[in-house]
Structure 1
């Protein structure tokens, strides 16, 4: 028994006559009769009794039809799915991102993307840079956004923007009255910040060394968002990236840190697999969202002009 035989059998059961089944499948009535006879010969039992010029399904045919109908309904579902995928009405997009771009960039990005692709399911995972690169390599995610360097073969990282390091403090801190925060201002503060092994750790250490101060970390963090509850609880002053929209959180104040130390945001994709149409599409949305960020969230870089060019292409 093959799929064509089942299709013809199902058409006969649903239409009631060989002629109607032939019209339904756009084939000749003799061709339908031939396939039905061959099917009955293969099965070794009758599927229809011919009484008064009409076909009456046998009990065996009724049993067979239940499963044949289910199979073809599933095939029709798959066919409909394939058409909707072709028309870009549904799909899947898997994103890995650190906390700063998840807060600052992805809301506007996904709003624009889903307006055009409401049927696309988006899976968003918060991942450290090492795990993000690994999942890009094995194909578990389609693209990533990270504030850390990616130095993994076969993984591509495109610089999108830079942002400066800022000081985060309680809103009633005496330091909140200052326009900028320097290493000297932090001499008597418990410092909450990234360790020296982090990408930004070396330039931060250098900023303190230039004024003859060690960067003594009281509470070391690996994720910027981890500093928020610590600062809110009065445990210290944090030096963290300026991309996170810190002013949205209650009880804290943010000030620029001098000398200026920059952190980079990169778009990470596979270097071995071609990007899907959804990856290419949302990449433009990411660049547009970055171009629309407040000026104090970004620092001048080559990525700014690249984003402007991308936005111009879309308009």
Structure 2
């Protein structure tokens, strides 16, 4: 029995008549009769007996019915899965973010996305900028979220959000009571900021220099979280991304914006010409909606 014959047999078993089966399948009555007759001829045995205008299954038909019902149950399952995939409610998504992003608003966005789609599975990695680019290029990661600059011939980028480096400090620091910090006020202050090779360090140095501030950089770190921990323990002000504090407040620490602003752009990073799943498209839409809310921008 081919799939069409199985389909007609299943419909006749459900409806009990050729007319009913034709209605279920959306075809004409003669076409159902033709397929059924051809099927019985091929099998060299009757599947139905015609009594009083109805089709009564033979014992052989009853014997094969459970297996055929199982086939159509699987087909229904495939149909539901395809609809869910198209709707972005199931599937697996592979994401990576720079450390402060992955542990901050990207984690928060993944959680809210999953709350609406319990059938989705997500792999989320926190990586250095170079690792992130490598994973996107090799297509181990479908979407990366990192800070500019990103220059690589095999990736394409879109700006997700613009934000600024902030002063993170203990809530009992002398400057903690201000709504914003003028860069000139950092003159003579003990500062923790990024290593000299970090992309954002150039932005920090340039802003301090333009303001005529000779920085007293007491500690250099590779991760914003480390700078926040140092600030918490009294090592002065950390000039870092405040992403983590926006979504995971740490009691005793505050973040204050700088003026003038040290702007940084967060980028969506994808392999050039890579196909984009319906699930990914829906996640990016969700991310674009959630990030401004989480960052208060």
TM-score using structure 2 length: 0.69
Instruction: Give the structure 1 partner of residue 186 of structure 2.
Output: 182
Instruction: Give the structure 1 partner of residue 265 of structure 2.
Output: 264
Instruction: Give the structure 2 partner of residue 3 of structure 1.
Output: 3
Q: Greater strand share, 1 or 2?
A: 2
Instruction: Give the structure 1 partner of residue 37 of structure 2.
Output: 37
**SS of residue matched to 2:172:** coil
Instruction: Give the structure 1 partner of residue 193 of structure 2.
Output: 193
Query: For 1:67-78, what aligned pairs fall within 5 Å after superposition?
Result: 67-78=67-78
C-alpha RMSD of matched pairs (Å) = 4.5
Query: For 1:138-157, what aligned pairs fall within 5 Å after superposition?
Result: 138-139=138-139, 141-157=141-157
**SS of residue matched to 1:265:** strand
Query: For 1:294-309, what aligned pairs fall within 5 Å after superposition?
Result: 294=296
- The unaligned stretches of length 5 or more in structure 1 are 296-315
Does structure 2 conserve the Cα–Cα contact (< 8 Å) formed by 1:169 and 1:253?
Answer: yes
Query: For 1:197-236, what aligned pairs fall within 5 Å after superposition?
Result: 197-204=197-204, 215-217=217-219, 220-222=221-223, 224-234=224-234
Q: Deviations over 1:209-250 (max 9, x none)?
A: 8766674426x232x234444433446642212445459431
Number of residue pairs matched?
Answer: 286
Change (3 A) 1:66 1:262: same
Instruction: Give the structure 2 partner of residue 63 of structure 1.
Output: 63
**SS of residue matched to 1:127:** strand
Change (3 A) 1:28 1:236: same
Shift of 1:198: 1.1
Query: For 1:110-189, what aligned pairs fall within 5 Å after superposition?
Result: 121=120, 123=122, 125-128=124-127, 129-139=129-139, 141-174=141-174, 176=176, 179-180=181-182, 181-182=185-186, 184-186=188-190
| Range with greater deviation from structure 2 (252-261 or 18-27) | 252-261
**SS of residue matched to 1:267:** strand
Does structure 1 conserve the Cα–Cα contact (< 8 Å) formed by 2:156 and 2:271?
Answer: yes
Does structure 2 conserve the Cα–Cα contact (< 8 Å) formed by 1:104 and 1:245?
Answer: no
Instruction: Give the structure 2 partner of residue 279 of structure 1.
Output: 281
Does structure 2 conserve the Cα–Cα contact (< 8 Å) formed by 1:105 and 1:290?
Answer: no
**SS of residue matched to 1:75:** helix
Change (3 A) 1:176 1:136: same
Instruction: Give the structure 1 partner of residue 250 of structure 2.
Output: 249
CA distance in 1, matches of 2:294, 2:228: 24
- The unaligned stretches of length 5 or more in structure 2 are none
TM-score using structure 1 length: 0.66
Change (3 A) 1:280 1:269: farther
